[in-house]
Amino acid sequence: MSHGKGPIVIGLSSGTHEAGADFRAMRVLIVEDEVKMASVIRRGLVAGGMAADLVGTGEDALWMAGATDYDAIVLDVMLPGIDGFETCRRLRREKIWAPVLILTARDGIQDRVNGLDGGADDYLIKPFSFAELLARLRALVRRGAVERPSVLEVADLRLDPARQRVWRGDTEIDLSQKEFALLETFMRRPGEVLSRYQLLEHAWDYEYENRSNIVDVYVRYLRDKIDRPFGVETITTVRGSGYRLGD
Ligand code: CA
């Protein structure tokens, strides 16, 4: 579904807001493809004193959110093209930190976990009341945009220390605790040559029995999980010195 460069904006808030000098309307982006649902939400938000723009796809949402500083984004999960979770992940990857409220029709716990892991701030299950939608949005806007730069990124490798999760591109990689600690050590110093001693010191507990080749063994495990299956070689051996992640 190609429609040129710009997004298809289904509804746009009026730019001129008759308001006092100390009042700024909350500007919300609604991302929902079901026209009826979308317009009902929009009318509700406008009635609640908010300005609301409306788009029908995740791609258009990315475009709009990149161009406008929204106070909050209401994001439906089921969308044509990329879904709401992926839209949210991409927003965060592009360092757009506006609070995101996910709308989901399914009351699945996995949905909520997916949404919040992808950088969403809250979720609401359809059908919902407007009073609740407005209350949740106001709470999110009060809290403001929260940066989440805690996720480490080296090329297309991402590591979330808080959640102990790792991805190469969109593929999640399952690591043991030790492998995770080792990778985190590498990712905190991308491009640096780290000696076996440095890696041991950061990724292993002090009481760990110091076997001379333990680092080499774990680097091999790590390569088998983060590099080989993807046909890349990001951990390089630097002869006589140690290892390096990235260039
Ligand atoms: Ca939908």
Assess if residue 139 is contained within a domain. Answer: yes
Residues 6+ apart with CB under 8 A from 224: none
Task: Report CA(207)–ligand 1 centroid distance (Å).
Answer: 53
Closest CA to 60 of 102, 11, 130, 126: 11
Per-residue model confidence (pLDDT) at position 17: 44
53 HSE (CA, 13 A, CB side): 24
For 148, phi then psi, to 5°, come to: -125, 60
Q: Distance between CA 48 and CA 42 in Å, rounded?
A: 10
Distance, CA of 141 to chain centre = 18
Residues 138 and 174 in one domain: no
Task: Report CA(85)–ligand 1 centroid distance (Å).
Answer: 12
Task: Report CA(90)–ligand 1 centroid distance (Å).
Answer: 18
CB 44 within 8 A of CB 130: yes
Task: Report CA(133)–ligand 1 centroid distance (Å).
Answer: 16
Assess if residue 209 is contained within a domain. Answer: yes
Task: Report CA(40)–ligand 1 centroid distance (Å).
Answer: 13
Task: Report CA(171)–ligand 1 centroid distance (Å).
Answer: 25
**CATH code of the domain covering residue 164:** 1.10.10.10
Return the structure tokens found at 203. Answer: 């990724």
Residues 160 and 226 in one domain: yes
Task: Report CA(78)–ligand 1 centroid distance (Å).
Answer: 4
Place of tokens 């080296």: 154
CB 42 within 8 A of CB 19: no
Task: Report CA(37)–ligand 1 centroid distance (Å).
Answer: 8
Q: What are the 10-residue block averages of pLDDT along the chain, 247 residues in total?
A: 61 51 69 94 87 95 94 94 90 89 75 67 86 89 72 89 85 91 88 88 62 85 96 94 91
Task: Report CA(99)–ligand 1 centroid distance (Å).
Answer: 19
Q: Distance between CA 112 and CA 114 in Å, rounded?
A: 5
Task: Report CA(83)–ligand 1 centroid distance (Å).
Answer: 9
Q: Are strands 193-194 and 242-245 parallel, antiparallel or unpaired?
A: antiparallel
Residues 158 and 108 in one domain: no
CA-atom Rg of the chain in angstroms = 22
Task: Report CA(221)–ligand 1 centroid distance (Å).
Answer: 42
Assess if residue 127 is contained within a domain. Answer: yes
Task: Report CA(61)–ligand 1 centroid distance (Å).
Answer: 13
Residues 64 and 131 in one domain: yes
Assess if residue 183 is contained within a domain. Answer: yes
Place of tokens 């080989």: 228
Place of tokens 């106001």: 138
Quote the number of domains for the chain.
2
Task: Report CA(92)–ligand 1 centroid distance (Å).
Answer: 21
Task: Report CA(123)–ligand 1 centroid distance (Å).
Answer: 14
Residues 44 and 133 in one domain: yes
Assess if residue 5 is contained within a domain. Answer: no
SS (H, E, C) the chain: CCCCCCCCEEECCCCCCCCCCCCCCCEEEEECCCHHHHHHHHHHHHHCCCEEEEECCHHHHHHHHHHCCCCEEEEECCCCCCCHHHHHHHHHHCCCCCCEEEEECCCCHHHHHHHHHCCCCEEEECCCCHHHHHHHHHHHHHHCCCCCCCCEEECCEEEECCCCEEEECCEEECCCHHHHHHHHHHHHCCCCEECHHHHHHHHCCCCCCCCCCHHHHHHHHHHHHHHHHHCCCCEEEECCCEEEECC
Residues 129 and 211 in one domain: no
Residues 50 and 117 in one domain: yes
Assess if residue 6 is contained within a domain. Answer: no
Residues 57 and 107 in one domain: yes
Structural domain boundaries enclosing 37: 27-143
End-to-end CA distance of the chain: 38
Task: Report CA(115)–ligand 1 centroid distance (Å).
Answer: 15
Amino acid identity at 178: K
Per-residue model confidence (pLDDT) at position 115: 62
Task: Report CA(51)–ligand 1 centroid distance (Å).
Answer: 21
Residues 137 and 217 in one domain: no
Per-residue model confidence (pLDDT) at position 95: 84
